[in-house]
Structure 1
Amino acid sequence: MALAKQVYRVLLRRTATFALTVVVGALLFERAFDQSTDSIFEHINKQKLWKHIKHKYEEPRDE
């Protein structure tokens, strides 16, 4: 219960800090969700994506 009181006192007591907490939480959640879904997608489609097979089809550049 002490942790809940501390969180309330620090983050949720004032409207401005509550709004900032919501915005920061949403940004962090969005970032974590985006990275995890990208990781799952790449794991499911391993060796099927262009970045995995492009070496078979691209010609080396002469520079």
Structure 2
Amino acid sequence: MVSASRGIYKQVAPPHHSTLFRKNYTFLGVVFAGAFAFEMGFDNGMDKIWDSLNKGRQWKDIRAKYVQAADDDDE
């Protein structure tokens, strides 16, 4: 039974499998690089969603109004 499943696995395995996952350090490098890329993409995507949902309520959106008001008070 075990030998039959190994034969099927070798037939189904993609050609890059032997290159990327043959050695443990290569596998770990692929995992860490994939996690880093996913984190960067996820963070950027969530920041864009957050900014679109909170447009006009964040400091970067209303800063000019308060800085201008403070300049007017000084004069």
Give the CA deviation at 1:15: 0.9
Aligned to 1:55: 64
Segments of 4+ in structure 1 off by > 3 A? Answer: none
Larger proportion of helix: 2
In the superposition, the TM-score normalised over structure 2's length comes to 0.68
Task: State the distance in 2 between where 1:49 and 1:38 align.
Answer: 12
Percent same amino acid among aligned pairs?
37
**Residue number among 7, 11, 27 corresponding to 2:36 in the alignment:** 27
Give the CA deviation at 1:31: 0.8
Paired amino acid for 1:7: H
* Partner secondary structure for residue 14 of structure 2: helix
Aligned to 2:20: 11
Give the CA deviation at 1:13: 1.5
In the superposition, the TM-score normalised over structure 1's length comes to 0.79
* Highest RCO, 1 vs 2 (Cα 8 Å, sep ≥ 6): 1
Q: RMSD in angstroms over aligned alpha carbons?
A: 1.9
Task: State the distance in 2 between where 1:32 and 1:18 align.
Answer: 21
